[in-house]
Amino acid sequence: MSLMSALITTLAILPYTMPKYTVSVERDVVYAQAEGYWTHAPVGERGTVTRLAPELFQQRMLDLDMDIYLPEGDDSPQRPLLLMMHGGSFFVGYKEEKGQAGWCEYFASLGYVAVSINYRLGFRPTRKDLAAAELRALEDADAALDFLLARKDLRIDSDHIFAAGTSAGAMTALRLAFRPSGGHPRIRAVANLWGSVHDLSVLEHADTAILSFQSPDDPVMPYGRGYPFHAAKRKVQPPSQLFSEVMYGTLAVHERARELGIRAEHHPCPEPRHRLHIGDDGEYTPRFYEIRDRMAAFFAEEFPER
């Protein structure tokens, strides 16, 4: 049996892996207000840094908003939640990005409440300010989770919460999942899509399953231990160690998770790219669909009783 055939067979017998519902979207739902620089900056637009740089001189009060994707016609008394965070180096990105929106729509068709959030972006080029930006993203993800759980009409099952993100969003998802409990709801599983952590010891704080995808030749994030943008094939290495602590990429996270007995699955991808799911033409790559289906199957193993 081929790998694809085995995956299709697996999806057919696991819960929350086959589309069943049409999807509706509550757009631009404000979940909190907080001081920051900005929350929305499309990736790849020319002049973005020049346009945004003047806003780094003073923070202002911002509306933090989200898009909520819902399975239409689903009458389940409790539904799993997928919280999705976009990438963009904590400087750019937005909740409507093609990859996040596509995954959210698909997971809502499976029966999830799937949510893509905007969070505070922007930092000055110092180690201290980048660390503050990472903390703001975590605070916003936490506020989004609190808001969603308080929305009783969404019928979210607090025992089946999942998180996912790409790049900086994956860093935030991992921090959300592996923070000390402190009364926070447990994240059952996290999809770490070319993200990283600053300290592998954080994995000792929780028992959250980890699914990872990344290229060993990622030009942005380290695959093992290293600094961002220090790709092995780059002739001139940028001084990113001046504003970033050392980071541990998907391979290091996966290996440490296995040592700790955490359920973990890792997929090294041969293409030498950072964003694996969207091509240069702005369209989905085959990897988008592979990640989507592996996420569904991996998360479904957290529903043994259904």
The confidence score (pLDDT) of residue 244 equals 78
Characterize 185-220 residue by residue with b for buried, 16 or more Cβ atoms within 10 angstroms of its Cβ, and e for exposed.
eebbbbbbbbbbbbebebbeebbbbbbbbbbebbeb
**In sequence order, what are the residues at sequence separation of 6 or more whose Cβ sits closer than 8 angstroms to the Cβ of residue 248?**
196, 197, 198, 199, 200, 222, 224, 225, 256
Cα distance between residue 111 and residue 157, in whole Å: 12
The residue among 74, 15, 70 whose CA lies nearest residue 297 is 15
pLDDT digits over 11-58, tens only?
Answer: 556 789 999 999 999 999 999 999 999 998 887 666 677 788 888 888
Compute CA distances 190 → 60, 235, 239, whole Å: 32, 34, 30
* Residue 120: per-residue pLDDT: 98
Contact predicate 187/160, CB 8 Å: no
Q: How confident is the model at residue 9 (pLDDT cuts 50, 70, 90)?
A: low
Q: How far apart are CA 122 and CA 93, in angstroms?
A: 10
pLDDT band at 136 (very low <50, low <70, confident <90, very high): very high
Please check whether the domain covering 3-230+240-300 is classified as CATH 3.40.50.1820: yes
For the chain, percent of residues with pLDDT exceeding 70: 90
Distance between CA atoms of residues 103 and 114, nearest Å: 8
Calpha distance 178→196 (Å, rounded): 12
- pLDDT of 235: 66
pLDDT(6) > 70: no
The predicted model gives 85-98 an average pLDDT of: 95
CA-to-CA distance for 119 and 239, rounded, in angstroms? 27
Q: Model-level pTM?
A: 0.92
Say if residues 238 and 227 touch (Cβ distance below 8 Å).
no
pLDDT of residue 305: 61
Q: Provide the 3-class DSSP secondary structure of residue 117.
A: strand
Residue 89's contacts (CB-CB under 8 Å, 6 or more residues apart) are: 167, 168, 220, 228
Residue type, 174: L
pLDDT digits (tens, 9 = 90+) for 197-247: 999 999 999 999 999 999 999 999 999 999 888 876 666 666 677 777 899
Neighbouring-strand partners of residue 284: 278
3-state secondary structure string across 190-252: EEEECCCECCHHHHHHCCCEEEEEECCCCCCCCCCEECCCCCCCCCCCCCHHHCCCCEECHHH
The Cα 9–Cα 124 span in angstroms is 49
CA distance 62 to 38: 7
What is the per-residue pLDDT across 48-86, written as a single tens digit (0 to 9) for each? 777 888 888 889 999 999 999 999 999 999 999 999 999
Answer whether 193's CB lies under 8 Å from 218's CB: no
